Amino acid sequence: MSRLSETLREAIEEEVATGKLLPGTHLDEIELAQRFGVSRTPIREALSLLAGEGLIEIRPRRGAVVASVSPQRLLEMFEVMAELEAMCARLAARRSAEADLQRLDEAHQACRSAAAERDPDAYFYANERFHTALYAASRNEFLGEQAHALQRRLRPYRRLQLRVRNRLQRSFDEHQAILDAVRAGDEARAMEATRGHVVVQGERFTDLLSSIAQLEAA
């Protein structure tokens, strides 16, 4: 795959994450090629990459469409995400170096600023930095790759969560608990804080489904 294909993949993925491309949307290769000013070949390669991530589906006679996820499947994915990140946090509490903690803290401070400004978009990107730093701090490259892959798949839904009222401040407080536990080397507390931060159950899951319905209606 070319660098251009990777750039296009990121651009289309961002449109899915931000809700510009909704589940079920047909992705026409010709229209995308014209919009991005490229040939169809890198577009086709980018769509193949996105299909590999599960963000889009290639359907017979219909071509590429943005993937739809059932509520049950979404819940299962968040459950797995919570366990992967909890494992990252446990290993980070055991293995992280000062440089790892510095990267976590820098991302955490960016989250603080975004939360104070009530800017869910800025918080979304700072939040991604925080979680990516947590994966790196685990010092387990394979685990980080698996967590990052599922994070990409869940990007649109993790972004929507941040638009729920008061979620930014709660998320920031949860990050603080994770950071404190990792810094203290408390593996059990780091796991529990991270699992609770990521897993989506009860009212949080209902809020997420409501946000999806509102976005699709709009």
The DSSP code sequence of 21-65 is S-TT-EE-HHHHHHHHTS-HHHHHHHHHHHHHHTSEEEETTTEEE
Confidence check: pLDDT of 1 > 60: no
In contact, 9 and 46? CB cutoff 8 Å? yes
Q: Is 189 or 62 the better-scoring residue by pLDDT? A: 189
- Rounded Cα distance between 199 and 218, Å, is 27
Class in CATH terms, 3-66:
mainly alpha
Phi, psi at residue 186, to the nearest 5°? -90, 95
What's the burial of 208, exposed, middle or buried (CB within 10 Å: 0-12/13-18/19+)?
buried
What would the mean pLDDT of 133-155 be, rounded to a whole number? Answer: 95
* The CATH number of the domain covering residues in 71-217: 1.20.120.530
- What would the pLDDT profile of 157-174 be if each residue is shown by its tens digit? 888 888 787 889 999 999
- What would the pLDDT profile of 30-70 be if each residue is shown by its tens digit? 999 999 999 999 999 999 988 888 888 888 877 889 888 88
Stated pTM of the model: 0.82
What would the mean pLDDT of 116-143 be, rounded to a whole number? Answer: 95
Residue ranges of the chain that CATH labels 1.10.10.10:
3-66
Residue ranges of the chain that CATH labels 1.20.120.530:
71-217
User: What pLDDT is attached to residue 200?
Assistant: 82
Reported as half-sphere exposure (CB side, CA atoms, 13 A), residue 128 has a value of: 19
Phi, psi at residue 35, to the nearest 5°? -65, -40
- Rounded Cα distance between 57 and 66, Å, is 6
